[in-house]
Each structure stands twice: as structure tokens, then as C-alpha cells.
């Protein structure tokens, strides 16, 4: 039956370890940053299912600022604004550092801290404290929606500035999670590599905007990804793994089962992040993905991840544009209407 999950594997000689951003992982499955990685009990559960690494829930720059503003609105002393802002930031940061420490003490898998930010200032010191708390790496989720028609600084410069400030502050690996709406993604990945980023995650699933026509208001679209969302992930992972071999890639968005894990590795990813699949199927989706990957490797005769990683990347093409056009033409030549 097509797509059926493999029941068991008999070989004990298959090596599914991988290296991502300098971190040694026992397998390529990474729990992506989400509400499922925000408390120690869930983190322990993910580790028990055999996950290769865990990205903690992001600490949002706006979250800290908005909470401080809320407290300020309820005080009769507006001159206390600076104190309140520093207090709130300190509390949020301390809670996050405690989560890092607990995760490291309670599990044996790499723990990656996540910062969701859009400005380069004020995060360098926090990054240093993350390192001191025991995090194995930092994932920067830089979310920006560019609408300034007269912007003097390019988004690439802003990304690079943020990464540069964090890289200078820590010795642990720094990775960057990118949006698929960016232009010339390979060029940006190469700039981030040159700046010191050790890993790139392709892609962040951004907020989905929808419209409620009854209330005539904006609302959130489907928060979970679909398996079909993996297409852009595969395309750009394949291109970037061929053009920028000096940086590790983690595939994300659209990964719902072991088949998608295999696809991502074939196009060149060193790790594969899962999120929606964990919400829908529970933490056992990790064990199922590992079993599926191992069984597929056994059936194909592969003994290690490196034997097939990147076999289907774009290494043999000189022009990504021509490659895309050729695939497009091949597809439609097979589906011409009669």
C-alpha cells in the first residue's frame, strides 16, 4: 500500500546520526520551536520518543515589550517606564534561562534556544546568557515584513546585522530560520554563512492572514502546515545545499511523516524540523519518523545518512532558473490536454 508506514526493521547496522550546525545528533529529527517545547514535561516527552534535538519555544521581542507596556498602563507613575521595562524583560529572560537549564538537566539531546526578533540591538547580552545557561546553539527567527517604500537599508543588511551581533557575543553555533517570502534566498544564505551562521532553517511558517466575512475582520488562517507545503522547502534546500556547501541546512514546513524526512535529506538537509506533525499526531510521530527512515534506508541498501544526503540537490545544474523551467516544461509535456 503506497505511503503505508513500515512496521519494523531488522537491521541494527544502520547509522542515522547526523551533524547539524556542528552539533552531533543521534538522528535528523528536530522538534521545532512551538508551544510543545515551552515546558519541561513536554520536552521530556519529546526526548523519550528519541528526538535528535529540541528547539525551545521562541522568546519574542514584542512579547517582552508589550507586557511591559501593559504594566505601565496600570501604574500611576509614568516615570517608572524604564524600570518596568527592565523588570519585565528581566523576568521573561530569567524564566527562559531556567527552561534552558531544566531541559539540559533533564534530557540528553541538544537544546537549541530560539530568539524571535527583528532588531539587531539589545540581544547580544541575552545571547551570552543563553550560552551560560547551557544551550547548545541559538536559532534566530528574524521575522520582518518590509513595507517601507523608501527604505535605505536592505532586508539582507538587517538580517546580516542581527546575525553578526549575536555571533560576536557567543561561541556556540548560531542558526537562522528564514521566511520563504524572501527574494534571492541563496544569496542571503551565503551572506549569513559568511557572517558566521552555522546553520540555516528553510523555512519558517509565517502567520497566515484570513478574513472573516461575517464580522468583517482579519483573523488567522490555518496555523498548521500541510504536506503539500514541503514543495518550496525541497526546492530551496536542494538549491542552497548545492550552491552553499559550507553551511548546514535544516528543512522545515510541510514535514508530516517519514516520507518527507527522506525527501528533505535527499535534497541536502542535515536535519529536519517537525512541528505540525507533533500537534496532530503527538510525540509518537517522532518515533514513527525514525522507524520509517531506518526501514527505507534498509530497503534501499543505505547504511548511513551521508550515503544519500544531497543525492537530488542541484549540484549538477549551472542555472537554477533553467532547472526550474526545464522541470516545468517536462511536467506539462506529460500532462497536455488531448
Whole-number pLDDT of residue 83? 41
Whether residue 127 lies inside any domain: the answer is yes
Asked if the model's pLDDT at residue 5 lies above 50, the reply is: no
Q: For helices 40-48 and 81-106, give the axis angle rounded to 10 degrees.
A: 30
Residue 285, all three cell numbers: 510521530
> Of 143 and 214, which is predicted with more confidence?
214
Q: How many CB atoms lie within 10 A of CB 38?
A: 14
Q: Decide if 64 contacts 55 (C-beta within 8 A).
A: no
pLDDT band at 216 (very low <50, low <70, confident <90, very high): confident
Whole-number pLDDT of residue 332? 65
Per-residue model confidence as pLDDT tens digits over 29-43:
999 999 999 999 999
Q: To the nearest whole number, what is the mean pLDDT of the chain?
A: 84
Whole-number pLDDT of residue 73? 44
Closest CA to 182 of 159, 210, 150, 149: 159
Asked if the model's pLDDT at residue 96 lies above 60, the reply is: yes
Q: Decide if 176 contacts 163 (C-beta within 8 A).
A: yes
Give the chain's length.
338
| Rounded Cα gap, residues 146 and 143, in angstroms | 10
Whether residue 130 lies inside any domain: the answer is yes
pLDDT band at 205 (very low <50, low <70, confident <90, very high): confident
Q: What is the mean pLDDT of residues 244-263?
A: 96
| Alpha helix segments (H runs only) across 107-201 | 124-133, 155-169, 185-195
Max mean pLDDT among 76-85, 188-197, 210-219 falls in 188-197
- Per-residue H/E/C for 130-148: HHHHCCCEEEEEECCCCCC
Q: What is the mean pLDDT of residues 301-321?
A: 86
What is the total count of domains within the chain?
A: 1
| Rounded Cα gap, residues 116 and 231, in angstroms | 25
Whether residue 131 lies inside any domain: the answer is yes
Whole-number pLDDT of residue 81? 43
| Rounded Cα gap, residues 313 and 240, in angstroms | 8
Q: For helices 185-195 and 230-243, give the axis angle rounded to 10 degrees.
A: 50
Residue ranges making up the domain that contains 252: 18-333
Whether residue 12 lies inside any domain: the answer is no
pLDDT band at 70 (very low <50, low <70, confident <90, very high): very low
Query: What residues does 287 pair with on adjacent strands?
Result: none
> Of 28 and 147, which is predicted with more confidence?
28
What's phi and psi for 73, nearest 5 deg? -70, -20
Residue 294, all three cell numbers: 531506518
Whether residue 2 lies inside any domain: the answer is no
Whole-number pLDDT of residue 319? 62
Per-residue model confidence as pLDDT tens digits over 316-338:
666 666 666 666 666 666 655 54
For residue 53, give the CATH number of its domain.
3.20.20.70
The model's pTM is: 0.85
Whether residue 5 lies inside any domain: the answer is no
Whether residue 8 lies inside any domain: the answer is no
What's phi and psi for 169, nearest 5 deg? -90, -15
| Rounded Cα gap, residues 191 and 247, in angstroms | 11
Whether residue 13 lies inside any domain: the answer is no
| Rounded Cα gap, residues 93 and 35, in angstroms | 17
Backbone CA torsion sign across 36, 171, 155, 187: negative
Strands 23-25, 18-20: pairing kind: antiparallel
Q: Decide if 247 contacts 200 (C-beta within 8 A).
A: yes
Amino acid at each position: 500500500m503506497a505511503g503505508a508506514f513500515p512496521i519494523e526493521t531488522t537491521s541494527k547496522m544502520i547509522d542515522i546520526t547526523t551533524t547539524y550546525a556542528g552539533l552531533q545528533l543521534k538522528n535528523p529529527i528536530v522538534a521545532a520551536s512551538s508551544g510543545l517545547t515551552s515546558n519541561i514535561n513536554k520536552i521530556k516527552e519529546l526526548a523519550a520518543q528519541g528526538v535528535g534535538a529540541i528547539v525551545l519555544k521562541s522568546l519574542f521581542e514584542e512579547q517582552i515589550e508589550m507586557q511591559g507596556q501593559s504594566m505601565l498602563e496600570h501604574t500611576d507613575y509614568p516615570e517608572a517606564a524604564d524600570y518596568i521595562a527592565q523588570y519585565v524583560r528581566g523576568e521573561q529572560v530569567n524564566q527562559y534561562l531556567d527552561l534552558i537549564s531544566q531541559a539540559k538537566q533533564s534530557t540528553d539531546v541538544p537544546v537549541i534556544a530560539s530568539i524571535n526578533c527583528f532588531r539587531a540591538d539589545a540581544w547580544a547580552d541575552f545571547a551570552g546568557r543563553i550560552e551560560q545557561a547551557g544551550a547548545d546553539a541559538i536559532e534566530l527567527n528574524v521575522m520582518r515584513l518590509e513595507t517601507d517604500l523608501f527604505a535605505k537599508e536592505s532586508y539582507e543588511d538587517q538580517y546580516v546585522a542581527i546575525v553578526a551581533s549575536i555571533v560576536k557575543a557567543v561561541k556556540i553555533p548560531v542558526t537562522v530560520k528564514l521566511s520563504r517570502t524572501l527574494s534571492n534566498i541563496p544569496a542571503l544564505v551565503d551572506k549569513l554563512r559568511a557572517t558566521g551562521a552555522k546553520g540555516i532553517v528553510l523555512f519558517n511558517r509565517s502567520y497566515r492572514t484570513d478574513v472573516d466575512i461575517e464580522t468583517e475582520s482579519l483573523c488567522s488562517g490555518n496555523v498548521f502546515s500541510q504536506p503539500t507545503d514541503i514543495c518550496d522547502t525541497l526546492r530551496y534546500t536542494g538549491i542552497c545545499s548545492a550552491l552553499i556547501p559550507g553551511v548546514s541546512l535544516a528543512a522545515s514546513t510541510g514535514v508530516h511523516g517519514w516520507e518527507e524526512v527522506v525527501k528533505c535529506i535527499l535534497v541536502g538537509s542535515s536535519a529536519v524540523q517537525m512541528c505540525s506533525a507533533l500537534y496532530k499526531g503527538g510525540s509518537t510521530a517522532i518515533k514513527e519518523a525514525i522507524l520509517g527512515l531506518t526501514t527505507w534506508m534498509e530497503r534501499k541498501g543505505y547504511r548511513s545518512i551521508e550515503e544519500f544526503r544531497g543525492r537530488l540537490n542541484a549540484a549538477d545544474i549551472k542555472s537554477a532558473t533553467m532547472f526550474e523551467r526545464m522541470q516545468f516544461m517536462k511536467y506539462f509535456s506529460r500532462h497536455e490536454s488531448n
